[in-house]
């Protein structure tokens, strides 16, 4: 080695957003003039600076340089100890570099922000909100979520009530707001409330919200009730004034006509019986006169001609929602993981089983980590939905006309990640619908024939 290096301080402490410096002494122990280059290696190298970065030293001489550490006030630099090294390399002897090691302690800090989404909800029984709490600090912390209303007219349910916030993340807290009293009719009532995010020894962060309470019965219900009563009264009056007498008269006329028809049928049957009795008496008389003769041959009866019948069957193709029932209900979740790339999509596919058709009625897109990039929902290679990850945390779609997928055209979730650094994108998509089997088409029916 042709150089000697020494740090004035090897243990340093710095606050995020501030700076701290120490001196490093470089001595040329070689017998020739040399130029030395100084830099900082390790995790602190991104936010450290050496001044001057180079120095020319005669043999046996030394010079000091200043190393300054400036960690940014963000979650990218976590709180705690960070080891570093000051490396000195000579031009004459590049392989004989020297590294002097030290440690800098980054102090912790917490910065919180809270937003209520939505700020105003409309409900008859209970309103749903989400409190988004961002921790932009460099250390983990636990907070308490405390909703209040000035008039004490509301009940609150918070989950979780004491979330743990990791540095550089956003945490979603579900808030259900329910009025203590309800009313049947009347104008909407505005019920304000406030949600506070607190932690020890700090000022609370507040977010204002509003529940617009609606009457249990719609405003148009009294008018509809009056119209229904009026229609009922009119129908009753019409029945007693017009329809009931008409029905009674018609019934009497129908009964008289039916009685006449019955009397006529009875008269015809009596005449037919008398005719048959007369014929029987004549036949008996002839039989007595021909006691020595042969019996008359009976007339052959006419043979009945059977009529052959044939039925046809019809079958409907399967794979439609007409074949759906509660047992075919299906839901699944497609999770993704895409590394940051320039212009490439990472694909995650769900393929229905063969001879089955998937009808999707609901899609929920989830981006809980606030990734940046583009998400697509495809049918095979065809793009059906496309949205930017920056635009949502949770996004749902509900279709009147369901989307159709099959084994040849599967469900594909494509993600192009544009996160800074090397943090991957991990959005997900939830699908719900019906997984319907495809029934075989029925063969045409033929009329059976028989030989006798």
Residue 141 near residue 233, CB atoms below 8 Å: no
Q: Has residue 351 got a pLDDT over 80? A: yes
Same domain, 199 and 96: no
**Tokens 């930017």, residue located:** 388
Does residue 307 have a pLDDT over 80?
no
For 321-325, what is the mean pLDDT? 63
Domain limit, last residue, from 164, 190, 213: 213
Residue range 342-349: average pLDDT? 87
Give the C-alpha separation, 167 to 288, whole Å.
Answer: 126
Quick check: is 231 in a domain? Answer: no
Q: 256 in a domain, yes or no? A: no
The pLDDT-based confidence of 288 (bands split at 50, 70, 90) is low
Tell me the C-alpha distance between 75 and 435, whole Å.
45
Q: Give percent of the chain above pLDDT 70.
A: 85
Task: Please state, in angstroms and rounded to a whole number, the distance separating the CA atoms of residues 181 and 176.
Answer: 15
Closest CA to 6 of 57, 44, 63, 54: 63
Q: Are 393 and 367 in contact (CB under 8 A)?
A: yes
List the CATH number of the domain containing 373.
2.60.120.1330
Q: Are residues 96 and 116 in the same domain?
A: no
Domain-terminating residue out of 194, 213, 232: 213
pLDDT score recorded for residue 259: 74
Q: pLDDT class for 343, splitting at 50, 70, 90?
A: confident
What average pLDDT is seen over the chain? Answer: 85
CA distances from 170 to 111, 120, 164, 166 (A): 12, 21, 10, 8
How many of the other CB atoms lie within 10 Å of CB of 429? Answer: 22
* Domain identity same for 330 and 394: yes
- pLDDT tens-digit profile of 15-45? 999 999 999 999 988 889 989 999 999 999 9
**pLDDT above 70 (res 188):** yes
The pLDDT of residue 450 is above 80: no
CATH of the domain at 206: 2.60.40.2310
Higher pLDDT, 290 or 387: 387
- 35 lies in a domain? yes
Mean pLDDT of all residues in 102-119 = 94
Residue 248 lies in a domain: no
Report how many domains make up the chain.
3
pLDDT reported for residue 184 = 84
Average pLDDT over residues 432-445: 74
Give 49-82 pLDDT, tens digit per residue: 999 999 999 998 999 999 999 999 999 999 999 9
Instruction: Indicate whether 344 and 389 sit together in one domain.
Output: yes
Same domain, 102 and 116: no
Q: Which residue has the higher pLDDT, 405 or 309?
A: 405
C-alpha atoms less than 13 angstroms from C-alpha of 338 in its C-beta half-sphere: 31
pLDDT for residue 451 is more than 50:
no
Identify whether residues 139 and 79 lie together within a single domain. Answer: no
Cβ atoms 360, 399 nearer than 8 A: yes
117 & 170 share domain: yes
In this prediction, residue 289 carries a pLDDT of 64
| Mean pLDDT confidence for 423-441 | 89
Within this chain, do residues 44 and 141 fall inside the same structural domain, yes or no? no
Both 76 and 168 in one domain: the answer is no
pLDDT value at residue 238:
82
Q: Is residue 14 domain-resident? A: yes
Residues 67, 128 share a domain? no
When pLDDT is averaged across residues 340-353 and rounded to a whole number, the result is 89
pLDDT surpassing 70 at residue 106: yes
The two counts, helices (H) then strands (E), for the chain are 2, 27
The residue from 213, 238, 262 where one domain ends is 213
Instruction: Tell me the pLDDT band of 322, cut-offs 50, 70 and 90.
Output: low
Residue 374 in any domain: the answer is yes
Q: Are strands 98-106 and 11-14 parallel, antiparallel or unpaired?
A: parallel
- The pLDDT-based confidence of 312 (bands split at 50, 70, 90) is very low
Q: What is the pLDDT of residues 212-268, one digit of tens each?
A: 999 888 766 677 878 888 898 888 888 888 777 777 767 777 777 777 787 787 778
pLDDT higher at 156 or 249: 156
Among 155-169, 292-306, 358-372, 394-408, the least confident range: 292-306
Q: Specify whether 393 is located in the same domain as 325.
A: yes
Q: How far is CA 48 from CA 14, 20, 29, 78, in A?
A: 12, 10, 27, 15
State yes or no: pLDDT of 446 exceeds 60.
no
**304 versus 281: which is more confidently predicted?**
281
| Gap between the Cα atoms of 6 and 86, Å rounded | 9
Q: How many CB atoms lie within 10 A of CB 65?
A: 20
Q: Same domain for 328 and 433? A: yes
- 199-220 burial code (b ≥16 CB/10 A, e <16): beeeeebebebbbebbbeeeee
Q: What is the CATH number of the domain that holds 99?
A: 2.60.40.10
Q: Whole-model pTM above 0.75?
A: no
Residue 439 tokens, joined: 């029934």
Domain residues for the domain of 174 are: 112-213
**What residues pair up with 397 in beta bridges, in sequence order?**
363
Q: Give a yes or no: residue 170 inside a domain.
A: yes
Contact (Cβ atoms closer than 8 angstroms) between residue 124 and residue 150: no
Looking at residue 246, its pLDDT comes to 76
- Judge whether 119 lies within some domain: yes
pLDDT-derived band at 303, boundaries 50, 70, 90: very low
């Amino acid at each position: 080695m042709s150089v000697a290096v020494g740090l004035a301080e090897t243990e340093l402490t710095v606050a995020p957003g501030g700076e701290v410096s120490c001196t490093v002494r470089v001595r040329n122990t070689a017998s020739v003039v040399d130029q030395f280059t100084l830099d900082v290696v390790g995790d602190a190298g991104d936010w450290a600076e050496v001044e001057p970065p180079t120095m020319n030293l005669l043999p046996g001489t030394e010079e000091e340089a200043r190393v300054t550490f400036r960690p940014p006030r963000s979650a990218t630099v976590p709180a705690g100890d960070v080891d570093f090294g000051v490396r000195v390399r000579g031009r004459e002897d590049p392989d004989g570099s020297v590294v002097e090691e030290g440690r800098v302690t980054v102090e912790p800090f917490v910065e919180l922000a809270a937003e209520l989404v939505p700020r105003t909800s409309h409900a008859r029984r209970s309103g749903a909100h989400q409190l988004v709490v961002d921790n932009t600090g460099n250390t983990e912390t636990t907070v308490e979520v405390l909703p209040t209303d000035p008039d004490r007219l509301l009940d609150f349910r918070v989950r979780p009530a004491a979330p743990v916030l990791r540095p550089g993340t956003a945490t979603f807290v579900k808030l259900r707001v329910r009025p203590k009293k309800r009313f049947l009719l009347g104008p909407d009532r505005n019920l304000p409330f406030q949600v506070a995010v607190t932690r020890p020894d700090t000022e609370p962060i507040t977010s204002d919200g509003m529940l617009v309470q609606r009457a249990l019965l719609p405003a148009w219900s009294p008018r509809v009730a009056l119209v229904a009563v009026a229609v009922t009264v009119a129908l009753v009056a019409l029945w007693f004034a017009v329809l009931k007498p008409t029905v009674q008269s018609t019934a009497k006329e129908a009964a008289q006509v039916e009685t006449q028809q019955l009397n006529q049928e009875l008269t015809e049957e009596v005449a037919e019986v008398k005719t048959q009795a007369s014929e029987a008496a004549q036949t008996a008389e002839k039989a007595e006169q021909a006691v020595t003769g042969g019996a008359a041959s009976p007339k052959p009866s006419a043979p009945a001609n059977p009529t052959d019948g044939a039925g046809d069957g019809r079958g409907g193709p399967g794979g439609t929602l007409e074949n759906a029932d509660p047992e075919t209900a299906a839901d699944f979740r497609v999770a993704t993981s895409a590394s940051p790339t320039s212009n490439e999509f990472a694909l995650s596919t769900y393929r229905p089983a063969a001879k089955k058709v998937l009808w999707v009625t609901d899609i929920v897109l989830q981006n809980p980590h606030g990734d940046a990039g583009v998400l697509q929902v495809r049918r095979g290679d065809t793009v059906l939905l496309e949205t930017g990850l920056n635009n949502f945390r949770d996004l749902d779609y509900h279709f009147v006309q369901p989307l159709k997928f099959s084994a040849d055209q599967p469900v594909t979730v494509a993600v192009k990640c544009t996160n800074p650094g090397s943090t991957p994108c991990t959005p997900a998509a939830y699908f719900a619908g019906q997984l319907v089997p495809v029934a075989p088409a029925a063969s045409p029916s033929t009329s059976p024939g028989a030989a006798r």
